[in-house]
Amino acid sequence: MLDHDLSQRALGARIVKGLSSISSPADQRFRSFFSFWSSTSTSSGTGPSGNVQHPAVTLEASLILGDCWRFEGSSGHIAIQLAYGANLTALSVHYIPRSRLGPFFHQNAPKSLTLWGLVRLSEHLTFPALQSTQLHRPISYFARDKQPPSRIVKPGDVFVPLATVHYDVHKDQEMAVAYIGDLEVESYIYDLVVVEVTENWGGDSTCLYHVGVHGQVEPTLLKL
């Protein structure tokens, strides 16, 4: 069973633009498809426009065809500030099943995603997992223009990999999940994460729907 999905705007999560990839407008083929979809939809005024979506759309748990965050290329990343520090336990990726997509649009689905958690070495002088985890990233690795937002992160803070999830578009599924298996890493309290798409299914751009960052917080903090 999954723990609370903490990466929801309704719970106070927000996007950190300075640590996220740049949004991309939809190409003509994408706009034409969703224009047709909207014109034939029975839900007046609720169909997707195919225009540029704010990255905060990834914080919405509902799946609406076309309401996804789009970025250029097969790889990119999005940073999420959680409302509460938490012991993180899993990453879930949500996507429209292939049977509901138009031709070729499954190529824009993410294929492999990695969840990175921020370790604030400026506040914690030691982090045992860094001694056993060779792979970690400096803040500048994810920062736009290599200028980290100083109000949120400090020099010396690093991101460590927590989990990698693979979404198989051929399984026609709405969700794929990866659990954090390293107890040493899981026991740390994280309040800022990056979800990095390292590969998609062959498209020139990638569309990201909801990504769930699951974890455990104090019951008095999280009121559901």
3-class secondary structure per residue, 143-207:
CHHHCCCCCCCCCCCEEEEEEEEECCHHHCCCEEEEECCCHHHHCCEEEEEEEEEEEECCCCEEE
- Look at 181 and 50; give whichever has higher pLDDT: 181
Which segment of 26-35, 58-67, 87-96, 201-210 scores lowest on mean pLDDT? 26-35
Q: pLDDT, tens digit, for every residue of 144-168?
A: 887 777 788 888 889 999 999 999 9
SS (H, E, C) 98-123: HHHCCCCHHHHCEEEEEEEEEECCCC
Query: Mean pLDDT score of the chain, rounded to an integer?
Result: 84
Considering 33-37, 38-42, 87-91, 129-133, the range whose residues carry the highest mean pLDDT is 87-91
187: nearest Cα among 148, 145, 216, 152: 216
How far, in Å, CA of 34 to CA of 191, rounded? 36
- How do residues 100-124 score in pLDDT, each as one tens digit? 887 778 999 999 999 999 998 767 6
Q: Is 62 exposed, middle or buried (0-12, 13-18, 19+ CB in 10 A)?
A: exposed
Q: Give pLDDT, residue 125.
A: 55
- Domain residue spans of the chain: 4-23+55-216
Residue 38 has pLDDT above 60, yes or no: no
The DSSP 8-state label assigned to residue 137 in this structure reads E
Cβ neighbours of 28 (radius 10 Å): 8
Q: What is the pLDDT at residue 148?
A: 76
Q: Say how far apart CA 166 and CA 175 lie, in whole Å.
A: 10
Q: What is the dihedral of CA 208, 159, 222, 4, to 10 degrees?
A: 50
HSE (CB half, 13 Å, CA atoms) of 13?
33
Which pLDDT band holds residue 43 (cuts at 50, 70, 90)?
A: very low
- Which residues are CB-contacts of 94 (< 8 A; sequence separation ≥ 6)? 61, 63, 174, 175, 209, 210, 211, 212
What mean pLDDT comes out for the span 173-180?
Answer: 96
The predicted pLDDT at position 132 comes to 54
* 201 has a pLDDT exceeding 60: yes
Does residue 42 surpass a pLDDT of 50? no
**Is there a contact between 133 and 161 (Cβ–Cβ < 8 Å)?**
yes
Q: How many residues does the chain have?
A: 224
75-86 average pLDDT score: 96
User: How far apart are the C-alpha atoms of 67 and 90, rounded to whole Å?
Assistant: 24
Query: Could you tell me the pLDDT band of residue 30, with boundaries at 50, 70 and 90?
Result: low
Q: Is the dihedral of CA 200, 71, 164, 99 positive or negative?
A: negative
Fold category of 4-23+55-216 in CATH: Jelly Rolls (2.60.120)
For 46, the token pair is 């609720």
Check whether 216 has a pLDDT greater than 70. yes
If you search the block for the tokens 């997707």, which residue do you land on?
48
Q: State the Rg of the chain over Cα.
A: 18
